[in-house]
Amino acid sequence: MRIDIISVLPEMIEGFVGESILARAQKKGLVEIKLHNLRDYSRDKWRRVDDYPYGGSAGMVMQCEPIDRCISALKAEHDYDEVIYTSPDGEPFNQHIANDLSLKGNLIILCGHYKGIDQRVRDHLITREISIGDYVLTGGELAAAVMTDAIVRLIPGTISDEQSALSDCFQDDMLAAPIYTRPADYKGWKVPDILLSGNEAKVRQWEFEQAIERTKRLRPDLLK
């Protein structure tokens, strides 16, 4: 897989994609993550990529030309399954979308900035718009980092224990069951006896029941 992230501030996520699991996946050759500074595709001598909106609205808008030039340059070298725009009014990002995108070949993620991007980019260049929540960030770099992390960790071989990813919250539209580790008794706070029983079938049943109970209590919307 290859993920190309286009940003006016690639430095914001440069360190993030070069650490931990993302770094490990790249070293293993499971994914390439490339950052592109949108200003490199500006023809303005000041490397500006934004301008005032028509109609007199407040804020600044990312221009068509540098975005088109950047995406066109990338597409000339690689085929892409999706060109994603990080936008607060996109479809809500969730585990199902992460699962789907982890099966793709190559992705472009365009980080929104300023007031947003020229609508013509959304109409003609973007294939999918995704939001990580109902709030507005200064830019889409954090959203791109969140999505990249959620996607890459699902690629087989990224996590040594692949079952760990498959049992995460939201994989079955439920929250995960409570988890414990040693010691079995700390300050009188005890691990449930069932987890110490060695009976795998009963443990799995307990985890399932706990997951349902926790989901009903904390996120009943998931069960709908």
Tell me whether residue 188 is annotated as binding: no
In whole angstroms, give the CA distance from residue 112 to residue 25. Answer: 26
Alpha-carbon gap, residue 140 to 137, rounded angstroms: 7
Task: Check the annotation: does 83 bind a ligand.
Answer: no
Neighbours of 115 (CB within 10 A): 14
Count how many Cα atoms sit within 13 Å of the Cα of residue 84 in the half-sphere of its side chain: 29
Asked whether residue 105 is marked as a ligand-binding residue, the answer is: no
Question: Is residue 133 a known part of a binding site?
Answer: yes
User: Is 180 among the annotated ligand-binding positions?
Assistant: no
Q: 13 a known binding residue?
A: no
User: Is 3 labelled a binding residue?
Assistant: no
Q: Contact at 8 Å (CB) between 31 and 61?
A: no
Cα–Cα dist 79/109, whole Å: 14
Cα(185)–Cα(183) distance, integer angstroms:
5
Handedness of CA 18, 22, 26, 28 (dihedral sign): positive
Q: Which residues 6+ apart lie within 8 Å of 2 measured at CB?
A: 31, 32, 33, 34, 78, 105, 106, 107
Sequential DSSP letters for 92-143: EP-HHHHHHHHT-SEEEEEEPBTT-B-HHHHHHT-SEEEESSSS--SBSHHH
Residue ranges for the binding site?
Answer: 112, 132-137
Residue ranges for the binding site for S-adenosyl-L-methionine?
Answer: 112, 132-137
